[in-house]
């Protein structure tokens, strides 16, 4: 897995600096030990939303593409510290 170091630099960010739509998701990720490094809801037309997190001890990542579903599912398995 290639890591872009620009996106993985740690810094404390207050919830005031996070797009309001993403705060509930970021809080839940923080509760299980996943720290968000960058995120954006996408403010312009056709701009994609994204969420970047640092995960230690990744076991594996699964991207499920079920043709019956209108979306893809991302599943990340990791060992908690």
State the pLDDT confidence band at 11, using cuts at 50, 70 and 90.
low
Assign 74 to helix, strand or coil. strand
7: DSSP letter: G
Q: What is the pLDDT of residue 47?
A: 81
pTM score of the predicted model = 0.60
Domain ranges of the chain: 5-78
Q: What is the pLDDT of residue 45?
A: 82
Q: What are 19-62's pLDDT values in tens digits?
A: 888 888 888 888 887 888 888 888 888 888 888 887 777 777 88
């Amino acid at each position: 897995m290639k890591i872009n170091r620009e996106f993985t630099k740690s810094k404390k960010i207050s919830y005031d600096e996070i797009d309001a739509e993403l705060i509930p998701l970021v809080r839940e990720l923080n509760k299980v030990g996943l720290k968000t490094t960058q995120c954006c809801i996408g403010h312009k037309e056709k701009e994609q939303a994204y969420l970047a997190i640092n995960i230690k001890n990744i076991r594996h990542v699964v991207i499920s593409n079920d043709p019956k579903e209108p979306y893809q599912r991302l599943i990340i398995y990791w060992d908690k510290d």
